[in-house]
Structure formats: structure tokens, C-alpha cells
Chain A
């Protein structure tokens, strides 16, 4: 598509529930990133995919968070046993190439999925 698409745009869930957030990157982009933006903060890195594999998952806060990208395009961020502290906007971004950010390899962000855990 023309941009990075994220669904749902809003998700309200109860503490302890399981949540999936979906990201559809720009067509042809091989690199995909997930970020989390809490209230009053800038986006914080969660995980980076090169194609189908997670090349860097150092930003995932704990093992309740997991992400997949099985066919190298759409990615799903999965959160188990949600906690109130997980409430945030989850941003997805893609870039044309993997590896270093460069003049031709800039991240384009989606509108985000706002997760509220009650």
C-alpha cells in the first residue's frame, strides 16, 4: 500500500487478556520495526525484523511480548497477560532496506495502535 497500515487503531482490553496488533508495511520494504510510545514520551524501540527474522529484539520489555513476521511482509505484535503498564501507542515503521539507516533507507511510520488496558 501507499503507507504503513496498522490495525486496530484502538484496542481496549482487560488486565490479563491477550492482544494482537497488526502491521502491514509499505510494499517491498524489507525492514520492519515496532516502537512503543507511552504518554509524554518519545517512541521507544521494541523489535526490528530483517525479512522474516527478528534481527534485534533487545527492546522487548519482557517475555510477555512477542512479534512475528512469517512471510516477510505483515507483522503481528503479540502481548500476553496484559498489564495496565502496557497501555501505550504501538507504532510500526518500515524502511526499504535492512541494515543501516541512510539517506535512502529512512523509516516511515504508521498511525499506531492505541492500546488501553483496564
Chain B
């Protein structure tokens, strides 16, 4: 079965700082990768996804993620964070063949101070 590891449980940044949240997965086959975001008091929302093609994917609100197959990684990045990016971020993976459950990491809580 696949699993996901997120490196940091809490990250604190000042506005305009650059962001990189680590995500590694364990599964030997082809995968689909996702980042979901949960803003305070809101439900989980899809930030971006990777299925195939260009390993650098762009999502909403200026976020991007890069799939590096050799490192089993899918790190999330944003060049300049805003206070409104304060949220919990979840990396998730499914296998890319047939039915597969969506497996989540434990999440990273990002706090951006103004």
C-alpha cells in the first residue's frame, strides 16, 4: 500500500517569504499526486494535482509543485506567501492504475505572520 510523509508538522513564515513544504511518498509504481489545503474553518480544497506530463504543476493562488520521480517527492512551493495562505496543507497520493484510495499525509500547518 502507498503512504505519504510530510516533513514538517508546523511552519511559521513572515509575509513575502518563500515557501517549500516537503512531501515524499512510498510506492513503487506510477502514482497520481495531490496537494489539498484547509483554511481555518473551511473544508478541504484541491490546490493542485499531478497525473502525467510536465512534472512542474501549477495550482491556484500562485502555488506550484514539482514531481521528482527519482526522489519520490512532490514538494509544494510558493515564491512569496501572504497572510491569507495560513492554512493546513495535505499531500496525498493514489496509485495510477485501477481503483485506489486517496492516501493522505499528516499535514503541515502553515502560519504566516503579517
Question: Which residues of chain A come closer than 8 Å to B46, judged between CB atoms?
Answer: 106-108
Interface contact B44-A43, CB-CB below 8 Å: yes
Q: How far is the CA of A41 from the CA of B104 in the complex (A)?
A: 9
A: contact size bracket: 20 to 34
- Establish whether residues B101 and A109, one from each chain, have CB atoms under 8 Å apart when the complex forms: no
Instruction: Please state if A100 and B106 are interface contacts (CB–CB under 8 Å).
Output: no
Instruction: Select one of B92, B100, B107 contacting A41, CB under 8 A.
Output: B107
7 contacts between A and B (CB under 8 A): A55-B99, A59-B101, A100-B96, A100-B98, A100-B99, A103-B49, A110-B43
Interface residues, chain B, with chain A CB atoms under 8 Å away: 4, 6, 9, 32, 34, 36, 42-46, 49, 51, 90, 92, 94, 96-107
Residues of A within 8 A of B (CB): 3-4, 33, 35, 40-45, 48, 55-56, 59, 91, 98-103, 106-112
* Known pairs A35-B104, A101-B32, A112-B43 / 13 extra A-B pairs, C-beta < 8 Å: A4-B43, A33-B102, A40-B107, A41-B107, A42-B105, A44-B104, A45-B103, A55-B99, A56-B101, A59-B101, A102-B32, A109-B43, A111-B43
